[in-house]
């Protein structure tokens, strides 16, 4: 039989061979339902979902989180309407491959900058998580903010605190229950519709979204489909899926175990101070209690009752913990009542609790910072050197070289010019090497509208004396306002000698 009782979390037992597995199948170690490591808090013994009824919480951290969430919600809902230099604050228009961050437009041609920015973001997350754990999840993650600060509060307002909710869910379907559920889910769906539309406006822009709303439905079937899909998705998440999203879906949560270490600041239970836990006897003074060798935890379980993921923080750091601080507030309120100092559950590192060590700048953290500095420098240089105009040249598909009546040869090209600025941009193309002529077909000159791409047919003619056998390298200068913006290289195809 495989004995896993002595393994640490990082050790994996070797896979048993088929014969051993067959022999062992009758003696697989049963799940110990008393051991939190053997099962997750939100599933029962048959593997079915256990619905969480977290108790209402109040306290200083909840107050601070509430204020902060109002700020974040204002940014989230107001973001699509904020413009910088005429451009949106944030736009991730994947269908049109147009991305705007802080008013700066990034085109597919800027993908390398985008990739480096993503790397900077990821390394930033790693450093932040190594130092502060899942601070983001508890304070700023849209899932937590919307769930705990919006949907959960509505639920409390309609169905009451955890005991009333439990009672209502187990009660028969009376008129009172139906009306409460109807009102709650109606508001949940309406809010999910708003949230889904806000997300959509970050993808297509609020003007497009408004157009979808006011135009006849038949004109925007795809857009309406997305509106409905996003609304149903958010309704499903906030009405039913809830903490399961953080436990099973969120990749950030799943990676925290490889990012945190003994110096990471987390919501943690001070087991040195709290153990041995035991109830506070009537009339017992707190100081007397300590003299008997009992710790400060009075085993009231309030920290478990308020936890939205159903875990007991006294068991130590757990994957499900979203660092929401509810257990800190709950425990502080208990400590206040019994006259003990606050902070039995607090923000602390394992070393801080075990050895009373302050936060240390570890070699691992130093390594992350060096990587971050290099990437940030590269990103800064790329942004600094980023041109306002980006042009590409390709030989016109299917075209052959031609010989003109005067003996010169011509090739036809397609030149695409992207104007990354918010102003109209006149662009001039000059053939710099070898000597020859360059003409923009049709309009004769190129003027690119703000944030648009202009596609132009360009005819280049060379004298046979300037040509090499087969392919002749060409250098084309791209100018705007007399200033050279870019140099394009291509080749001119001619006859082989």
Task: Provide the binding-site residues for ligand SF4, judged by CB under 6 A.
Answer: 267, 269, 274, 277, 297-303, 306-309, 311, 313-314, 321-327, 330-331, 334, 344-345
Q: How far is the CB of 456 from ligand SF4 (least distance, A)?
A: 58
Decide if 355 contacts 361 (C-beta within 8 A). Answer: no
Residue with tokens 């989230």: 76
CB distance 278 to 296 below 8 Å? no
| Interacting residues of 270 by C-beta distance below 8 A, sequence separation 6+ | 343, 344, 345, 346, 348, 353
Give the Cα separation of 134 and 126 in Å (integer). Answer: 11
Question: CB 59 → ligand SF4: shortest distance, Å?
Answer: 11
- We find the least distance from the C-beta atom of residue 326 to ligand SF4, in angstroms, to be 4
d(CA 184, CA 200): 24
In the bound complex, what is the minimum distance in angstroms from residue 235's beta carbon to ligand SF4?
23
Q: Which is nearer to ligand SF4, 131 or 474 (CB)?
A: 131
For the CB of residue 189, give the shortest distance to ligand SF4 in the complex, in Å: 27
Q: Which is nearer to ligand SF4, 207 or 290 (CB)?
A: 290
Question: How far is the C-alpha of 318 from the C-alpha of 50, rounded, in Å?
Answer: 18
Burial of 240-270, coded b for 16+ CB within 10 Å and e otherwise, reads ebbbbbbbeebeebeebeebbeebbbbbbbb
Question: Three-class SS of residue 234?
Answer: helix
The residue among 331 and 391 lying less far from ligand SF4, judged by its C-beta, is 331
Number of helices and strands (H, E) in the chain? 18, 16
Residue 39 CB, nearest approach to ligand SF4 (Å) = 16
Helix (H, G, I), strand (E, B) or coil at 92: strand
491 DSSP β-pair partners: 473
* Cα 143 from Cα 147, distance rounded (Å): 6
Smaller CB separation from ligand SF4, 263 or 323:
323
Min. distance of Cβ 290 from ligand SF4 in angstroms?
Answer: 14
Name the residue nearer to ligand SF4 (CB basis): 116 or 259: 259
| Choice between 55 and 166, CB closer to ligand SF4 | 55
- Nearer to ligand SF4 by Cβ, of 250 and 439: the residue is 250
Cβ–Cβ under 8 Å, residues 202 and 79: yes
Nearest-5° Cα angle at 373, 368 to 375: 95
| Closer Cβ to ligand SF4, 309 or 411, answer by number | 309
Nearest-approach distance from CB 266 to ligand SF4, in angstroms: 9
Residue number, 110 or 329, with CB nearest to ligand SF4: 329
Residue 418 Cβ vs ligand SF4, minimum distance, rounded to whole Å = 47
Strand partners, 472: 492
Q: Give the SS3 label for residue 371.
A: helix
10 cis-preceded (ω within 30 degrees of 0): no
Q: How far is CA 483 from CA 421, 423, 430, 478, in A?
A: 15, 16, 12, 9
Smaller CB separation from ligand SF4, 58 or 402: 58
Q: In the complex with ligand SF4, which residue's Cβ is closer, 100 or 345?
A: 345
Find the shortest distance in angstroms from Cβ 34 to ligand SF4. Answer: 17
Q: Residue 139 burial (CB < 10 Å; 0-12/13-18/19+)? A: buried
Minimum separation from the CB atom of position 263 to ligand SF4 (A): 19
Q: How far is the CB of 314 from ligand SF4 (least distance, A)?
A: 6
Q: Give the sign of the dihedral formed by CA 54, CA 57, CA 60, CA 64.
A: positive
Q: Pick from 111, 18, 70: which is nearest to 386 by CA?
A: 111
Q: Return the number of the residue (191 or 297) whose C-beta is nearest ligand SF4.
A: 297
CB of 57 to ligand SF4, least distance (A): 8
* Strands (E) located in 337-495: 345-348, 389-395, 402-403, 409-419, 425-433, 436-440, 446-448, 453-462, 471-480, 483-493
Which residue, 300 or 453, has its beta carbon nearer to ligand SF4? 300
Q: Is 479 helix (H, G, I), strand (E, B) or coil?
A: strand
Residue 34, CA distances (Å) to 49, 69, 112, 360 in order: 18, 36, 51, 35
């Amino acid at each position: 039989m495989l004995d896993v009782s002595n393994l640490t979390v990082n050790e994996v037992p070797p896979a048993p061979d088929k014969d051993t597995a067959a022999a062992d199948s009758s003696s697989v170690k049963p799940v110990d339902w008393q051991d939190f490591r053997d099962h997750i808090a939100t599933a029962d013994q048959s593997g079915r979902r256990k619905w969480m009824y977290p108790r209402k919480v109040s306290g200083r951290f909840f107050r601070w989180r509430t204020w902060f969430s109002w700020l974040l919600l204002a940014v989230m809902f107001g973001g699509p309407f904020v413009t910088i230099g005429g451009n949106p604050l944030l736009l991730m228009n994947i269908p049109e491959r147009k991305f705007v961050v802080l008013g700066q437009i990034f085109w597919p041609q800027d993908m390398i900058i985008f990739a480096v920015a993503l790397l900077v973001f990821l390394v930033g997350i790693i450093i932040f998580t190594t130092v502060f754990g899942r601070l983001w999840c508890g304070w700023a993650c849209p899932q937590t903010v919307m769930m705990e600060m919006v949907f959960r509060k509505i639920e409390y307002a309609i169905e009451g605190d955890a005991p009333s909710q439990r009672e209502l869910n187990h009660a028969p379907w009376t008129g009172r229950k139906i009306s409460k559920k109807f009102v709650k889910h109606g508001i949940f769906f309406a809010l999910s519709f708003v949230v889904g539309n806000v997300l959509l406006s970050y993808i297509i822009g609020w003007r497009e979204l408004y157009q979808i709303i006011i135009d006849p439905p038949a004109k925007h079937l795809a857009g309406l489909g997305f509106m409905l899909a996003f609304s149903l998705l958010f309704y499903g998440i906030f009405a039913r899926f809830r903490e399961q999203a953080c436990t099973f879906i969120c990749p950030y949560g799943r990676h925290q175990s490889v990012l945190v270490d003994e110096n990471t600041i987390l919501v943690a239970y001070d087991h040195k101070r709290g153990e041995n836990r035991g109830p506070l006897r009537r009339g017992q003074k707190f100081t007397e209690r300590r003299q008997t060798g009992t710790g400060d935890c009075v085993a009231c379980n309030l920290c478990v009752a308020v936890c939205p993921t159903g875990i007991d923080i006294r068991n130590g750091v757990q994957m499900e913990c979203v660092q929401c601080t509810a257990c800190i507030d709950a425990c502080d309120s208990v400590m206040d009542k019994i006259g003990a100092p606050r902070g039995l559950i607090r923000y602390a590192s394992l070393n801080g609790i075990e050895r009373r060590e302050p936060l240390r700048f570890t070699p691992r953290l130093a390594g992350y910072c060096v990587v971050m500095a290099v990437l940030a420098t590269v990103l800064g240089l790329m942004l600094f050197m980023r041109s306002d105009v980006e042009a590409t040249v390709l030989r016109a598909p299917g075209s052959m070289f031609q010989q003109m009546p005067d003996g010169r040869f011509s090739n036809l090209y397609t030149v695409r010019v992207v104007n990354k600025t918010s102003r109209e941009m006149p662009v001039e193309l000059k053939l710099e090497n070898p000597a020859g002529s360059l003409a923009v077909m049709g309009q004769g000159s190129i003027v690119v509208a703000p944030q648009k791409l202009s596609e132009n047919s360009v005819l280049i003619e060379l004298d046979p004396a300037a040509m090499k056998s087969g392919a002749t390298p060409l250098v084309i200068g791209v100018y705007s306002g007399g200033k050279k913006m870019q140099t394009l290289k291509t080749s001119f195809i001619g006859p082989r000698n």
